[in-house]
């Protein structure tokens, strides 16, 4: 840790102290728009960095990470072929605080060893794509690679910060396609293991019920900001009459055991790491920064990949028939895949038309593996 980076002085007996000092414990900030939710996320992130955690900030295209620039350097990760033109809007002194790093978004595992403990690591992806399926594929792979890497690097405490977690892990019937549910489930299963790896998730949402249901109970600390009574989580319903009347300087911190601390004032101010006598304000702002580039799958490549897997699936069905495992005909395919009659008939014909040479080669391969 840099000599300029001083310890965050908190009372470990208070919930706030426990929240910051307990590496690997997950934190969820819940609050309505305008309640100070994102400002609270900025403050918590900065304080976690001050106690020595490596920060990975997932920016959801609102560029709120720029609020850190007056006080701390950032390492900005951009997909290859994309750029954020900070120099056109920000002062040169601010631009100097940012190091740009371009990455291959198909290989998120390459990012892990490059994350910097001395600076904030800002991961930009969603700004450069409007294709939700592409975004979900990237973040699914990112969580998997993060789990694989951190499993081997347990000692160093990390924090992954996600504003509006419900965008990545929506509740049932709140997503738009099946891939989102897989990502939600993946985040849930990862979260249970992250604690043992000194990796915490710090996230926010404006509505608790928008989150994937199994994920809601995986947090160790809940920071409650003002929200409508009907949005107050069921386990905190006893505080609903207080929560819906709180202003931006109020917050309730609750741990998973039900212990709570009413914090007044809860402000956007925190102590500067270079001078603990000085208070700084981390307040989200909307920045209009020009950007260029786009992340998208090549349609022909995607079509080609689907064609390859379809061909392999048909070959597998033919092998089942050749080995007398099942009688692969129209009725079998229709029952197995629950397809329309016309498509089932087409697939059964395609299975029969697979060249005998390919079938013989596949059977030969199966015989070799059986002998081994």
Task: Answer with the one of 292, 325, 349 that is the final residue of a domain.
Answer: 292
How many domains are there within the chain? 2
Q: Do 125 and 143 have their domain in common?
A: yes
Q: Do 285 and 331 have their domain in common?
A: no
Q: Do 303 and 256 have their domain in common?
A: no
CB count, 10 Å around CB of 226? 22
For the stretch 171-181, pLDDT in tens is: 776 656 667 88
pLDDT of 121: 97
Q: Do 278 and 258 have their domain in common?
A: yes
pLDDT of 221: 93
9 domain residue, yes or no: no
337 domain residue, yes or no: yes
pLDDT of 4: 41
Q: Do 251 and 267 have their domain in common?
A: yes
Is the predicted pLDDT of residue 369 greater than 60, yes or no? Answer: no
4 domain residue, yes or no: no
CA 11 to chain centre: 31
265: cis peptide before it, omega within 30°? Answer: yes
Under DSSP, the state recorded for 211 is B
Q: Do 285 and 343 have their domain in common?
A: no
Quick one: which of 61, 93, 94, 90 has its CA closest to 78? 61
Q: Which domain holds residue 317?
A: 299-367
CB count, 10 Å around CB of 293? 15
219 domain residue, yes or no: yes
**C-alpha to C-alpha distance for 118 and 122, rounded to whole angstroms:** 13
Quick one: which of 295, 290, 302 has its CA closest to 123? 295
Q: Do 203 and 307 have their domain in common?
A: no
Buried b (16+ CB within 10 A) or exposed e, 239-268: bbeebeebebebbbbbbeeeebeebeebbb
372 domain residue, yes or no: no
Given pLDDT bands bounded at 50, 70 and 90, which one contains residue 272? confident
Binning the chain into helix, strand and coil, the percentages to the nearest 5 are 45, 20, 35
Is the predicted pLDDT of residue 124 greater than 60, yes or no? Answer: yes
Under DSSP, the state recorded for 171 is P
Task: Answer with the one of 292, 315, 350 that is the final residue of a domain.
Answer: 292
**Report field, pTM of the whole predicted structure over 0.85:** no
pLDDT of 57: 97
Strands 251-255 and 221-224, sheet pairing: antiparallel
pLDDT of 346: 78
For the stretch 20-29, pLDDT in tens is: 888 889 999 9
């Amino acid at each position: 840790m840099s000599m300029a980076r001083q310890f965050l002085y908190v009372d470990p007996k208070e919930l706030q102290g426990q929240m910051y000092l307990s590496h690997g414990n997950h934190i969820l900030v819940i609050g309505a728009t305008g309640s100070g939710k994102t400002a609270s996320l900025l403050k918590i992130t900065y304080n976690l960095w001050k106690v020595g955690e490596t920060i990975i900030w997932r920016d959801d295209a609102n560029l709120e990470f720029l609020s850190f620039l007056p006080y701390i350097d950032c390492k900005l990760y951009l997909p290859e072929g994309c750029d954020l033109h900070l120099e056109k809007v920000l002062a040169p002194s601010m631009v100097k605080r940012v190091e740009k790093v371009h990455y291959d978004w198909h290989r998120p595992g390459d990012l892990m060893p490059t994350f910097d403990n001395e600076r904030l690591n800002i991961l930009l992806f969603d700004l450069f794509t409007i294709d939700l399926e592409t975004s979900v594929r990237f973040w699914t792979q990112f969580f998997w690679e993060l789990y694989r890497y951190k499993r081997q690097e347990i000692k160093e405490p990390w924090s992954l910060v996600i504003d509006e977690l419900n965008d990545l892990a929506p509740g049932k019937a709140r997503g738009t396609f099946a891939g989102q549910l897989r990502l939600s489930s993946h985040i849930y299963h990862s979260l249970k293991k992250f604690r043992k790896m000194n990796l915490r998730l710090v996230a926010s949402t404006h509505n608790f019920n928008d989150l994937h249901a199994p994920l809601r109970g995986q947090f160790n600390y809940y920071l409650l900001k003002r929200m409508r009574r009907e949005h107050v989580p069921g386990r905190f319903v006893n505080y609903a009459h207080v929560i819906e009347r709180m202003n931006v300087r109020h917050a309730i911190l609750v741990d998973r055991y039900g212990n709570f601390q009413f914090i007044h004032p809860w402000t956007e101010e925190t102590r500067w790491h270079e001078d603990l006598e000085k208070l700084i304000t981390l307040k989200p702002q909307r920045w209009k920064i020009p950007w260029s580039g786009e992340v998208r799958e090549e349609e022909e490549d995607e079509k080609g990949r689907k064609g390859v897997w379809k061909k392999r699936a048909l070959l597998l069905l033919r092998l089942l028939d050749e080995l007398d495992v099942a009688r692969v005909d129209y009725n079998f395919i229709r029952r197995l895949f629950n397809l329309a009659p016309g498509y089932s008939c087409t697939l059964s014909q395609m299975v029969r038309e697979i060249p005998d040479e390919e079938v013989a080669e596949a059977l030969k391969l199966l015989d070799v593996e059986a002998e081994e």
